[in-house]
Structure 1
């Protein structure tokens, strides 16, 4: 294919010839016999976006789940109405996601028995760490005598009974509309067969963090054990990706990395809270942070209500990490965050909460930096890819020129998505 009249981010006008890779770039290329032509009409052509932290199966399931977060539900009565109107899935369950106590107060099995239909109902907390099941659901998973129905997601003794492998076509098509050509699945404990299935079913190129992904919990932090685990993964040739959503988890992880040593591809996922004193340690470990400032835009008002003012500047940092010399990449954490990477970029630039407040103004970054942090190499997320000869022909073609693309950072500007030289999405 020959892409005509493209504009690179630096303003260069060029035609781009692609097969599976970019084979030529120059202004005024002549179409070869049988070559398809695409007119970019002066729109920006950039490397396809890469979402560096997403949960593919969960994101696919969430597309068919009921949303019951604070944006959708504002009282127990509204929660009851939403669940009553929900469609029971083919598996006989009602599956709801995105819950926070701010929506309708604390939930347990007894509250759900009062509010929900008599069919099995499970509601996921928006952190992803916990499910709340009603009595019918608890019977289904063999836990009829459980005291409160609040079950940790990481407990395979019950979660494995509900495992499903939802098809990924719809999710893949959605990501194509966003210009996403690659993803990194952050689900822990994937077997080789699980990884192969993801790579086979997704339109996008798929990289997985397993077997080096580790989720930490504050009540089980053990620096020595974590250091041994990191050392074992390194000895097997794997980098690690450690989930850190609290200051304690970050501090313990940095100490474990100091003790065990680092791999060039080690990552810290989320870094939701970074105290000032940890910035130099992060830079010293040379570990990449993959973070999600979209949570400021999605949950910022709750942070303003729940987090002490003195600690709010520590939330979802980006600019201060970059200033400290920490390699940083962005992602969405879908389905726990919105899957639109352009919305995440805008959040990194403006850091506005849903009510319009600015949370962490010192952490704002320029639009060009926010975009670059979604263009990183899958293995080295903080190393941007470029549109250049020899690069994979994974491209996002926009209807807006570079200046307008950066000014708007809007998924609506995605005109076409190309993976391996093949157009997998074309608007209209």
Structure 2
């Protein structure tokens, strides 16, 4: 295909030809081949497409049929009751009610008894805003067999009965629901929506995916339901899915092993070191979930003991003390952050994060100044799905953070323009580069006025137009 009259990063107007998934030629007045598809990009800029370096695709797709029960949509117990009861009257009898985004500021801790008082007649499951917990009513507990489950994630009361709160049990819950919720999430709709925002790739960051789940995601890419590339975090035992051809194989790749840490259930240092070493021996790097000071320090210590492998990364880095900067820089260990969270959760953070931790919360500019490598993902659906919101948040101070943490439009955009395998290595528009591009009206700095201020005119993945306005 040929992109004509596009304004490149340096301001010059060029034509760009793409062949076999890569940029093959850049010049002026390139001749259009016979029946070669083309785009007239006059007045538009061409840039590398956005890659969301941390996202949960199935969970995001499932939110389309879910009820929002957290701030800002739902702020009180009355709001929660109204939202669930309204859904109860419209969802067909016998189907599950699925709600997302819950936070205790709405109505305190939710248990099966609390939910039974609102909707007793059908199964209800509500996901916490952090994604760490599902809360079920009694009908749901009976259907999934929570009473008989011996996994430690099933919270129980003093008498040993399940409270309906399941911690870090997404995979178990998904398999137990089975035929009760037969409709799979609509990945195609999610993918099309992302394409309208210039997204050309995702890093799927859900921990503990089974071989079947990985194969299903790959099939969605190969079939065209998902038009973007997927770089899928996976354990050492996961095999590369079978692909129809070499081109398709490049659009779905396996990434680092995700290691999930919780302060309440933190592994011993030898155990964490052994987990990292096992991944490294299989040739896989690790992506360690770190949202507290303790988790970060434990991870750095374990990496020191196991040895740092190229590609090891810190996910989130929600709390990073300044005395950790040197270690991250010297070990070339990137932080994959979420600039959207200080904007989306400003009220929660002001109320809940201790004053001593506030200066270390969701650092960005200070990390870059210190020489730490940083890239970004949205963490959708636990954050907003639009990368442009995160780009805007990285550029502007909406949350009372220190001015040092904000960055320039070019730097903010670059957080989403790394390669899947090396998120802090910038993709370029040069001959031989992968042809994952977006054509936009407006300049990156226009996003200061809001995510919609930059209009995506077209999105190209592997030299194929997947969205055209």
Normalised by the length of structure 2, the TM-score is 0.86
Pick aligned residue for 2:229 from 180, 187, 205: 205
Task: Please tell me whether the aligned partners of residues 393 and 420 of structure 1 are also in contact (alpha carbons under 8 angstroms).
Answer: yes
- Match runs of 1:5-404 below 5 Å: 5-19=5-19, 20-86=21-87, 87-88=90-91, 92-144=95-147, 146-154=161-169, 156-162=171-177, 165-201=184-220, 202-211=226-235, 212-221=257-266, 222-353=268-399, 358-401=400-443, 404=446
SS at match of 1:78: helix
Q: Distance in 1 between matches of 2:192 and 2:270?
A: 43
Change (3 A) 1:13 1:406: farther
1:297-330 per-residue CA deviation (whole Å, 9 max, x = no partner) reads: 1101110111123321111111111122111101
**Alpha-carbon shift at residue 91 of structure 1 (Å):** 7.3
Task: Please tell me whether the aligned partners of residues 375 and 416 of structure 2 are also in contact (alpha carbons under 8 angstroms).
Answer: yes
Normalised by the length of structure 1, the TM-score is 0.94
**Alpha-carbon shift at residue 21 of structure 1 (Å):** 1.3
More moved, 215-224 vs 228-237 = 215-224
SS at match of 1:348: helix
Q: Distance in 1 between matches of 2:170 and 2:213?
A: 19
Task: Please tell me whether the aligned partners of residues 178 and 411 of structure 1 are also in contact (alpha carbons under 8 angstroms).
Answer: no
1:379-413 per-residue CA deviation (whole Å, 9 max, x = no partner) reads: 00000101111111111110225664687654751
SS at match of 2:227: coil
Q: Distance in 1 between matches of 2:375 and 2:7?
A: 24
Q: Distance in 1 between matches of 2:444 and 2:352?
A: 39
**Alpha-carbon shift at residue 193 of structure 1 (Å):** 3.6
* Superposed CA RMSD: 2.0
Change (3 A) 1:143 1:190: closer
Q: Distance in 1 between matches of 2:82 and 2:93?
A: 21
Task: Please tell me whether the aligned partners of residues 258 and 285 of structure 1 are also in contact (alpha carbons under 8 angstroms).
Answer: no
Which segments of 5 or more consecutive residues in structure 2 lack a partner in the other structure?
A: 148-159, 221-225, 236-256
Change (3 A) 1:273 1:40: same
Change (3 A) 1:176 1:231: same
Task: Please tell me whether the aligned partners of residues 291 and 319 of structure 2 are also in contact (alpha carbons under 8 angstroms).
Answer: yes
Which segments of 5 or more consecutive residues in structure 1 lack a partner in the other structure?
A: none
**Alpha-carbon shift at residue 229 of structure 1 (Å):** 1.0
Change (3 A) 1:89 1:206: farther
Q: Distance in 2 between matches of 1:14 and 1:402?
A: 19
More moved, 77-86 vs 244-253 = 77-86
1:124-156 per-residue CA deviation (whole Å, 9 max, x = no partner) reads: 100000011111111111125834211113375
1:85-125 per-residue CA deviation (whole Å, 9 max, x = no partner) reads: 22537971000000001122221111111123521111110
